[in-house]
Every structure is written in C-alpha cells, then in structure tokens.
Amino acid sequence: MASSELPTELVDRYGLARHNHMRGPNSEYWFLYEDRRPRLPVRRDGELCFARWGNGRGQSRHLPRASWTWLKTVDEGGWRESGAVPIIIPATFAVERGVWYRVREGIRGLLVGDERGKAVVYMICEPASHYYQVMTRSERMPVLVSKWTY
C-alpha cells in the first residue's frame, strides 16, 4: 500500500511505522503473513481499518486455521453462518513465494468476528491461472477486485 494512501493517524494508532519500506523512490507499507502479528488493511463501506490476518496461529477455536478461503467456498455459502462480510483489501502490490506483482484495484476478502469480537480477515483465493502458477509456483491466487463482484 502506497504511503500516500495511509493516513498518518492510522500509522500511529496501529504502530505501522515498522511496516514502511522503500521501493525505489516510493515509500510503501508492506503487510506480510510472516509478520509476528499479521494484519491487513481492510476497506469496508469506504472506511479503512486493520484486522488480524486469518487464524493461522490458532487464536480462535471457532474460525478456520488459515489465512485465506476458496472463492468456491464463499459462493457455495460456506461462510454464511459466520456473519462474514465482503471487504476489499487495498493493495498496489502483492507477493507470493518471493515474487512481487502489481495489483490495480485491491484484493477481495471476508471480514468475520472471532469469539472475542476481534475482526479477522481472510483473503479470497481461486485456483491459480497457468501464468500465475508458472510465475509463483502456487496452486492458488487471490481474487482481484477487477475480477469478481459480490
């Protein structure tokens, strides 16, 4: 996420200074799943906030222990009972297995509350295209905003 897109008050409130990096002459914020406490920016109803990225470390006993969910699962109603709501993860770049690539409009996700009421975001993924699979060696790829609508 470009530094110019992130209000200073959110940087201070969420302690995001350590996420700031330079890509050439541009300053941007990186949010990586490998972070000690992974979180992602989330745009819901036009408002920007931050949520815990998935449940990979088992903080919740009721949510899937993952950081992403399949588009097919969402389409088939697999999250209906959870109260999950569709959101956009604002991003200008993404990384998969060390390969950085440009994202134009953001990534689709679901925001759900855990049993303590904490917001948790899951990235929505689909089977990787041949190009994406060759580029990243990954079997899945994120669903981009321009690709799918709720």
115: left (phi over 0), alpha (psi -120 to 50) or beta: alpha
Could you identify the residue written with the tokens 């036009």?
Answer: 46
State residue 104's pLDDT score: 87
CB 46 within 8 Å of CB 54: no
Q: Where exactly are the structural domains of the chain?
A: 3-142
Q: What does the alpha-carbon distance between residue 62 and residue 85 come to, in Å, rounded to a whole number?
A: 17
CB 148 within 8 Å of CB 71: yes
State residue 150's pLDDT score: 43
pLDDT, average across residues 37-57: 91
Beta strands in the chain, from DSSP E residues, in sequence order: 20-23, 26-29, 39-44, 47-53, 68-70, 85-89, 93-96, 99-102, 107-113, 119-127, 140-142
Q: Which two tokens stand for residue 92?
A: 């200008």
pLDDT at 43 over 50: yes
Q: Which has the higher per-residue pLDDT, 7 or 82?
A: 82
Q: Find the range with the poorest average confidence among 68-82, 113-127, 135-149.
A: 135-149
Q: Which pTM does this prediction carry?
A: 0.89
